[in-house]
Amino acid sequence: MEKTLSIIKPDGVSKGLIGEVIKRLEAAEFQIVAMKLINMTKAQAQGFYAVHKERPFFDSVTTFMSSGPAVVMVLKGVNVIAEYRKIMGATDYKKADEGTIRKSYATDIEKNVVHGSDSPETAAFEISYFFNRFEIVD
């Protein structure tokens, strides 16, 4: 069993996609072991995306991630890091497979509806960035 951090990004929340995304997570039989609605500050978004601080889109993506409410969740399951990324689809929705969340709903390489950790190391960092152990029902 593995855990991963999932975010329904501000574009997903503002487009009314919380239910749709959660329906897909449940259909995939991922267990939701933590969940909350947050509105990140710019500084919190910069800390979250610190690995991207040298990238040209860093300022833009951290402004976007702090632009409104987002749903952060911890998902648990067998191979959930890779399995959830399959359901999310490629970063660029134009390259995402049919039927993925990003292919269905993203409108922009940046406003791509969902986030998912990409390795066990980033999952551990990202989960602890938003949740303490008493908030994870495991």
Residue ranges in contact with ligand GDP by CB under 6 A: 57, 60-61, 91, 109-110, 112, 115, 118
52 is catalytic: no
76 and 33 Cβ atoms separated by less than 8 Å = yes
User: Which entry of 8, 83, 115, 116 is annotated as an active-site residue?
Assistant: 115
Least distance CB 75 / ligand GDP (angstroms)? 15
Q: In what order do the strands lie in the sheet with 2-8?
A: 31-38, 70-77, 2-8, 114-116
Give how far the C-alpha of residue 137 lies from the chain's centroid of Cα atoms, to the nearest Å.
Answer: 19
Least distance CB 102 / ligand GDP (angstroms)? 8
Tokens 């951090």 belong to 5
Least distance CB 4 / ligand GDP (angstroms)? 11
**Given the complex with ligand GDP, which of 58 and 132 has the nearer CB atom?**
58
Pairing of strands 2-8, 70-77: antiparallel
**Given the complex with ligand GDP, which of 51 and 137 has the nearer CB atom?**
51
Task: Give me the active site residues, please.
Answer: 115
